[in-house]
Structures are given as C-alpha cells and as structure tokens.
Amino acid sequence: MNKATQPALDRFFLGLQVFAVFLIGVMLSACAAKPNPDDPANAPHVAVVKVERRDIASDLEIASEFLPYQEIDVFAKVSGYIQKLYVDWGTHVKQGQLLAVLEIPELQQQIDEDQAAVRGSEHDLSRFREELSRNESMYSVAHITYSRIADVQKTQPGLVAQEEIDEAQGKDLQASANVSAAKDSLASAEQSLAAAKAALEKDRALYAYARITAPFDGVVTQVNAYTGALLPAGTSTSNGGLGLCHLSQNNLLRLVIPVPERAVGDIHLGSSVAIRVSTINDTFEGKIVRFSGQIDNQTRTMHTEVEVPNPKYVLVPGMYASVRIPLHSATNVLTVPLQAVRATGNDDGTVLVVNNANRIERRAVKLGLQSADFYEVISGLSENEKVIFGEQNQYKDGELVSPSDAGPAPAPQE
C-alpha cells in the first residue's frame, strides 16, 4: 500500500465509526420514546354503547308509483258531431254526469222512419182485426144456415134439394177458410208491428248514446275533441282516432308493490301500511287489498296492491311513494346498533366488547331480527355489556382502550 493513501483510509474508517455510534444513539432514543401500550394514559379513545333491551320491528320498504283506481278513454257508442261539450282538462265529474252531446241527423231520420213503420203496422193490424171479425161473422151465418138445412134433410128426406144442401155446405167451408186466412194475416201483422217497435227501440237506444255521460266519479285528465269535431264510434274496428276524453278515478288510488319472496308469508289482506310521499313531505295510511298469490319466476316477487283513499285529491297519480310494510316484531329483546356489529352471514356476526378491565374482547354473536337501526342479539352478549360503536378493523383483541359513551342510541322508527 502506498504511504500517501494511508491517512485517507484512516479518515474513512474513523467516519464510519462515528456514523455507527450516531445511528445506535438514535435507535436507543427512539426505543426510549415509544409509548407503553399498557399505560392507560396511552390507551386510544373508543366510542361504546351498552347492550340494552328494547322492542324492535322489521319493516319492508319499497318505492312505488301512485296509479288511478281505474281509468278509461271515453268513446262514443255512435258516430256524430259534438254539439255541446261540458268538460275540459281537470274537470271533476260525478257518475252519470253529462260530458257531451252529439248531433246525429241520420239516426234521427232513422227514428222517424221507424216511427212511420210502427204506425203503418198498427194500421195494418187494425185492418186485419176488422177483416177477421167480418169473416167470423160470415162464417157464423154460413155455418148456421148449413146446419139447419142438414137437420131438415135428416128429419124430412127429400124436402130440400141436394143441390141446395151442397151449396150451403160449400159456403160454410169457404167462410171457415176465410176465418183461418184472416187469423194468419192478423198474426203476420202482429209480428210486423213487433219488429217495427223493436227497430224503433233499438234506434232510440242508440240515439240515447248521443248523450255521453261519466261511468264513474273521476277527473278528466285529457280532452281529445272539442265542439264541432266528428267523434267516431268506439265500436268500429277501423277507428284509429281517440275518444272524447280520458277519465281517471283519483279519489281512490292504488300502489302496486313487488313484494320479495322472503316477505310473501308476512303479507295479509287488510293490513295497514305507512306511505311516505317525499314530494309533499307527508305520510298517509293505506291497506293491502289484494295480491296475486303467485311469485313471478323472473323477478321472484309477488304482485301486491295497496289502496290509498284520496278524498281531497292531495295525491296525484304518477307521484312516487315509499311504502313501509311491517313484517316481524320482537318485544323486550337484547339489541345493539347495526354499527356495532360486523355481520358474517347466516345470522352470525362479531362485536368488540370492552370488558371491566377496559380491554377488547372479540366475540361471536348470534343475530335475530334486524330493524332499520338495531340487531336483535340471541346469544353472545349480556345486558349492559359495552361494545365498540363503529369500525372494528383498527383494534386488536386484548388491546387496552379508553371507552366513552357514544351517546343515546337511535330511537326505533315508528
């Protein structure tokens, strides 16, 4: 080694020694400053809640849309021009109230023709009755005459000529045939009169449809034709036009609820449900009135309908509502807030219990009913034990903590 490089190497090794001594000093200082986890002064603060007994209930909440109880397009039975219109958009009508009157001149003319046909049939009927009466009289005379001559011939043969007897018998038979013919004509006239009256009643019934009335109490939500417009008959298969108006029954509304399969067994006819309408910030009461009784294979839900009275028309079809259906309830059971439980499935979960020594115990619990805010605890906890409220991942089993009350538990929802 060159004598000139020896001082440089000595200085390098001296520097390494100094750095090593400095590093050891820093590490010793750090170890000396690390807090003691068993020192209560260094324990982390945690929010805890007590395991308490309370009444809880499980609800099913589903959003749905209000529908009219019934709604129809009002069509005309017969085609005609609107002579008078009595409704407009938003008109409230009662059952039987007049909506419009149609002008149907060809149908009025047909009624006039029917009336003339009835009068003609009545005249024919009267004439045939008179003819029958006359023929019956003639038959009566002819029959009496023939009977007398026949009796004389029996008692005094040869007194009356056979020619006279034959002539009287022929008149009797002719008169009888005339009576039969008159009866047939009378029966035909009666049938003609009945047909004429039936045609008249039919056309009168059709003409009555010129007055279009409301089939139920409702609101006119749309008008499609106005005064002077031609309204086609709603029975025509070739009719592509709209009806007079659209009528909705809004004093009673319905909500269609797709109830999940798990809740089907808890749906009962007549049960009351709470209905929250956020747009008007109000709650209403409805009743379950019908359900399909079959689960849809595609959605795994059951069609269920709720009726909601709407006498003041506060609610409007098309509004969205949140329906809360009560399912299960439990009284005086052990409960913990949802935020204190880490659910692991199959009604199992874990909680972090803070024991009397303020140390954490990770404990498995069996869960029961779940409400909007609480779990029912079937096993694993005792009343008045304290559990950590919130996230569990940051704490370790056996860790010393400083517990503080998380505040009052949320009140059960009404």
* Same domain, yes or no: 136 and 194: yes
| Position 33 in a domain | no
Would residue 313 count as lying in a domain?
A: yes
Same domain, residue pair 86 and 172 = no
Residue 20 lies in a domain: no
Place of tokens 């609800």: 59
The answer to whether the beta carbons of residues 212 and 234 sit under 8 Å apart is no
What lies within 8 Å, CB to CB, of 377 at 6+ separation is 51, 333, 334, 335, 336, 365, 366, 367, 368
Residue 43 or 107, more confident: 107
Instruction: State the pLDDT confidence band at 274, using cuts at 50, 70 and 90.
Output: very high
Of 329, 345, 365, the domain-final residue: 329
Q: Is residue 86 part of a domain?
A: yes
In this structure, the answer to whether residues 96 and 239 fall within a common structural domain is: yes
Backbone angles phi and psi of 199, in degrees to 5: -65, -40
pLDDT, mean of residues 207-220? 95
Q: How confident is the model at residue 13 (pLDDT cuts 50, 70, 90)?
A: low
Q: Is the pLDDT of residue 387 over 50?
A: yes
pLDDT in tens, 116-164: 999 999 999 999 999 999 999 998 998 898 888 888 778 888 777 788 8
So what's the pLDDT on residue 155? 83
The answer to whether residue 21 is domain-embedded is: no
CA dihedral 178, 179, 184, 185 (to 10 degrees): 70
CATH number of the domain that residue 387 is part of: 2.40.420.20
**pLDDT above 90 (res 103):** yes
Total domains, the chain: 4
**pLDDT band (50, 70, 90) for residue 212:** very high
Instruction: Examine the domain organization and report whether 219 and 92 are in the same domain.
Output: yes
Q: Are residues 353 and 336 in the same domain?
A: yes
Q: Are residues 182 and 110 located together in one domain of the fold?
A: yes
Is residue 36 situated within a structural domain? no
Q: Give the pTM.
A: 0.61
CATH classification at residue 237? 2.40.50.100
Co-location of 97 and 117 in the same domain:
no
The answer on pLDDT for 188 being more than 50 is yes
Question: Could you tell me where the DSSP H helices lie in 95-161?
Answer: 105-155
Q: What is the mean pLDDT of the chain?
A: 86
pLDDT digit string, tens, across residues 325-373: 888 888 999 999 999 999 887 889 999 999 999 999 999 999 988 887 8
* pLDDT over 90 (residue 321): yes
Q: Give the per-residue pLDDT at 275.
A: 95
For residue 189, count other CB atoms closer than 10 A to its CB. 19
Same domain assignment for residues 276 and 366? no
- The answer to whether residue 359 sits within a structural domain is yes
Which of residues 9 and 193 earns the better pLDDT score? 193
Shared domain check, 230 and 93: yes
The pLDDT of residue 26: 55
Residue 411 within a domain? no
Q: Which residue has the higher pLDDT, 36 or 262?
A: 262
User: Could you tell me what percent of the chain has a pLDDT over 90?
Assistant: 59
pLDDT for res 32: 47
Q: Could you give the CA distance from residue 102 to residue 79 in angstroms, rounded to a whole number?
A: 8
Q: Which pLDDT value is given to residue 322?
A: 94
> At 95, is the secondary structure helix, strand, or coil?
coil
165 and 114 share one domain? yes
Looking at the structure, do residues 254 and 305 belong to the same domain, yes or no? yes
CATH of the domain at 159: 1.10.287.1700
End position of a domain, from candidates 184, 208, 232: 208
Domain ranges, residue 400 = 45-56+330-405
